[in-house]
Structure 1
Amino acid sequence: MADADAIAFLQKQTTADGTSLYGHLTRVLSKVLGEKPNEAVDLLETSLLVKKTAFEAQESAPLVPVSATADAAKTVATATLFGNPDLPIDPETGEPIESEATNDYEAEDVVGNGRLFDALGVGLGTHEMYNIALTLKKLGEDPKRGVQNVRFFGKFFGLYADYYVFETTINDMPTIPEAPEGSVPYEDNTGTNEHVYFVCNYLGGPMTQLPIVTPDQIKAARLLKKLLTGRLDSLVSTYPLFPGNEANYLRAQIARIACTTVLAPNGQFTTNDENEPEPNEEFEGLPGRDLAETSNWVHKLPHIKKQGRCVVHKREEPEDDENFEFTEEEQEEGPEPLTSVEDDTPIADGSPAWTPLYSSSNEGVKYQVGGLRSNLWPGAYVSGKDKQSASIYVGWGIKNAPFVPLPPPDIAQEFDQALVESLELPPKPEEPEEKEEEEEN
């Protein structure tokens, strides 16, 4: 082989990173001639070894970059939802510790509800609904929680993390504290506090029980428009001041959204002698396409009054005060239970409160799914077919209404400094007579 052919061959044979053997040997020889080391042969062998190791490391590198630590934690948490968890080992005996018996609970068909929303092109998708169903199962079977009923409420988006919200009733309902003197009492496991809510930032992650909601928090939330951060202990830095942190603010938004957008097909519930909703055993369901009409849906939960409660609290009327009058909030009379959605007030721009949704524009298609989309709370949907129906919320927790910030408080009056000086300072002394006589002379 001629010298030109040999050089051409060495220049042609390149590695994966584009470096030829001729180029690599040229750089090594230049380094040897420039530095003139004592162990030139060892330097040549080391250079070839390093080049081979780098090439092998590049060949074995994963095609997909390794995700961040937070994403890896989410992946591991979601993976633990599948299969049976490993039992802890007793350090003394080395045997697995028997787990407690699972809790008995009731739940909606989460995967079936996901299919209803998929048919309408809304919701979170079948894949995520499967993971939600497993997370719900983990929450319901936890004997420490004591869940009786559980439902997937929805997903709130946050700036740094999201919230998956689960609506439950538990065996040991939380003890409602007494409200401060002079304020409106809290609802005792009824109305806005009828359910207990659990949230997690990612499916399979740790669950946190949200606190109860107070009337003052609901009234303050109505005056705000704020994005969630995804951190429950974050401060809600707003004006007017919100009485609580982000966990309280999220709980107030859940109560407002639930009482407005959680619906039931007309006829699924009836009212009893105490004017409270109860299931109707004779309900036969409605065709899916009929459930795209507002006249076929009713509000399942009671309306929140201006007072921040579902049931208005009235003060005791004093016997001696003839001029006593109830406030406007105490005189409010809300809508009756199971009010039709057709009577909902349109939003600010005049659009209807709800928009119909169909799984197909063709009326002749069988087994259709129908539903409604809330225009007041973007991200709230209801869907149904026959006897199955569901409600879900997927959004930022922002109401579609004009936001008018409250004006700042009145400027405090200036301190009457002149009056203070005239009252507190001693009178000005008169000039002595001797001084006056000297001036005359």
Structure 2
Amino acid sequence: MADNDGAMEQAVRRGKSFLMKGSSSSGLSVYEHVTQVLTRILDERTPDAADIFETLSSDAKRERLVCPSPSPRDEAPCVVGLEQAKAWCRIFGKREEEVFDEDLPPLPDAMELPLPNLLEIANYFEQAGVMLDKNEAVRVMMSLKELTQNHPMDHCRFWGKILGTNSNYLVAEVEMTDWEEEEEEEQELGAHDTYEEEEKMEMPEKDGIAEENEEDKNDELPKSKYKAPLSIPKEPYQSGANKYLYFVCSEPGQPWERLPLVRPSDIVSARLIKRLFTGQLNAPVESYPPFAGNEKHLLRAQIARISAATQVSPLGFYHFEEEEEDEEEEQNEIMENPEYEEPEIGEMVESLSSWVHHTQYILPQGRCSWWNPLKHEDEMSEEEDEDSESNHPEPQVAPPLLTPLTEDAELNGHPPWTLRATSSLLPQFALAVVTSNLWPGAYTFSIGKRFENIYVGWGHKYTGKPFCPTLPPAPQKEYEIGLDVTEVLDPTVEEELAFKQLEAHEAEQTEEEEEEEEEEDAEEEDN
């Protein structure tokens, strides 16, 4: 009997271990599943459990399943803050003066605002490979509407987005009506001016009478004749690199802030540094060579550089104004061509000669029009003019407007532009797209008689090699060792006595020689 009981116990153990084996697909074992079903029946005291045992089993299995897609209740909470939500409500809500009232005359809802249809533009750029979120496009368009309502302007365009480490910059390009440049009083005194003011403050007055003596005149410090080089002035509004004004904001609904007019010195310095934007306009720019300004000045300089290099249009869309008075001004003023004919997509994609630059080139000086510093110097003598004829700076010449893209220089053997069509299967609905390889993120599409430019990137130019900061200037050389520079040590007493004895001995010898010469001369005369 004991042997039969032991065999039975071993059989039960083997059966239980078999039931506890997990499934290869779900990992659930029969023993665990049955235990779960029985526990539920005992807890809930389910009536007629034998009749609905299969249903209870399927419910237990369903509870163990993990849904791959979260349900609406499991969605992550929205990360939009309260302030951002209020800003969105403000731009999507109507203003008080826009509320309809039957007693008041109808408002000019159909009033034409210089507002671009950003949804349509985003649809075209999506075909070109530039993904603009439609929800963000709607918010940006409503934010641009608020900008056009608050500032009278003739032209408004979504320039693009410049990415930053903390936040991004949404850039709007506008042309204001009746806008006058605010005079910024930035008077930086030179070293000699500061010194003269300090000297005047330190000079004591004696009974209100200035004592002028020869000794005082001799004690005056020499004045420096150094003249600091003239700073290159910035171009006025609606000309050159300051043809348009630019407003930026971090998120749609936030207030737009106008960037200052770009200075030539900022453009020259921006070409020598490479720095990521932080998204804060007043953040300092720490770089070498030092940048004289905040992040808003660097941002404005980069926008000017990107616009001058990447704003292109189809050939024939613009043409020069026909004026015979000033030939030079004709090259800087263009207008839309009413006789422009719609080109074929195949021609736009085959050659770069079908695209032209319609924005002025920025010279190495930092301006679109060259500024001669010699003409603006106040005091220059004729002799200085004659001597400095060989040192006259050569005028910098920029390529004219509407220059084809074929004239752009290559960078390390790489073409500066890339042409393509959005679709080769449906060419009748395709768009012609040109992409800049020098400024990654600059795109232009053309379809029919319409084209648009946009930039979405970090605001850096592709150089083809790792960025190397500018080296500091070489240290000045030390004075060469020589008699003119080396200081002679004072002689000792013994050396002075020996020197005096040597001088006395040489004097005696010279006197004896002179006496001998006189005696010889007297003898010759007697003979």
TM-score, normalised on structure 2? Answer: 0.61
Match of 2:218 in 1: none
Hey, what does 1:182 align to over in structure 2? Answer: 230
Deviation, 1:391, is: 0.1
In structure 2, the residue matched to 1:357 is: 420
2:132 to 98, 121, 124: 124
User: Within 1, Cα distance between the matches of 2:108 and 2:167?
Assistant: 32
Contact map agreement 1:345 1:353 (CA 8 A) in 2: yes
Shift in CA distance, 316/178, structure 1 to aligned 2, threshold 3 Å:
farther
**Corresponding pairs, count:** 362
For residues 223 and 199 of structure 1, the distance between their equivalents in structure 2, rounded to whole angstroms, comes to 24
Alignment-mate amino acid for residue 142 of structure 2: L
Q: Name the SS for the 1:410 alignment partner.
A: coil
Q: Which residue among 291, 295, 299 is the counterpart of 1:250?
A: 299
Quote the residue 1:160 is aligned against.
166
1:84 Cα deviation from its structure 2 partner: 1.3
After TM superposition, the structure 1 stretch with the greater mean CA deviation from structure 2, 199-208 or 157-166, is: 199-208
Q: How does 1:4-403 map onto structure 2 within 5 Å?
A: 63-68=74-79, 71-85=81-95, 105-142=113-150, 145-171=151-177, 172-175=179-182, 182-189=230-237, 190-272=239-321, 273=323, 274-275=329-330, 276-292=333-349, 293-317=351-375, 320=382, 321-325=385-389, 330-347=394-411, 349-362=412-425, 365-401=427-463, 402=465, 403=467
Highest CA radius of gyration, 1 or 2? 2
Code of the residue aligned with 1:182 in structure 2: it is L
**In 2, Cα distance between equivalents of 1:366 and 1:101:** 37
TM-score when normalising by structure 1: 0.72
One-letter amino acid of the structure 2 residue matched with residue 159 of structure 1: T
Deviation at residue 135 of structure 1 after TM alignment? 1.6
1:81-125 CA-to-partner distances (Å, cap 9, x unmatched) read: 32414679xxxxxxxxxx999996424432222222112122424
What is the one-letter code of the residue matched to 2:84?
K
Q: As a proportion of its length, which structure holds more helix? A: 2
Q: Name the residue aligned to 1:30.
A: none
Shift of 1:358: 1.3
Corresponding residue number in structure 1 for 2:193: none
* 1:430 CA displacement: 7.0
**Counterparts of 1:331 and 1:153 in 2: how far apart (Å)?**
32
2:64 is aligned to none
Alignment check: 8 A CA contact 1:263 1:298 kept: yes
Give 1:225 deviation, angstroms.
1.0
> What is the RMSD computed on CA atoms of the aligned residues?
3.7
Find the counterpart in structure 1 of residue 472 from structure 2: 408
User: CA 1:394 to 1:378, structure 2 compared with 1: closer, same or farther past 3 Å?
Assistant: same
Contact (CA 8 Å) 1:291, 1:383: kept in 2 or not? no
- 2:352 and 2:406 in contact (8 A); partners too: yes
Assess if the C-alpha contact under 8 Å between 1:290 and 1:370 holds in 2.
no
Contact 2:230 2:373 in 1 (8 A): no
Q: Aligned partners of 2:115 and 2:84: how far apart in 1?
A: 25
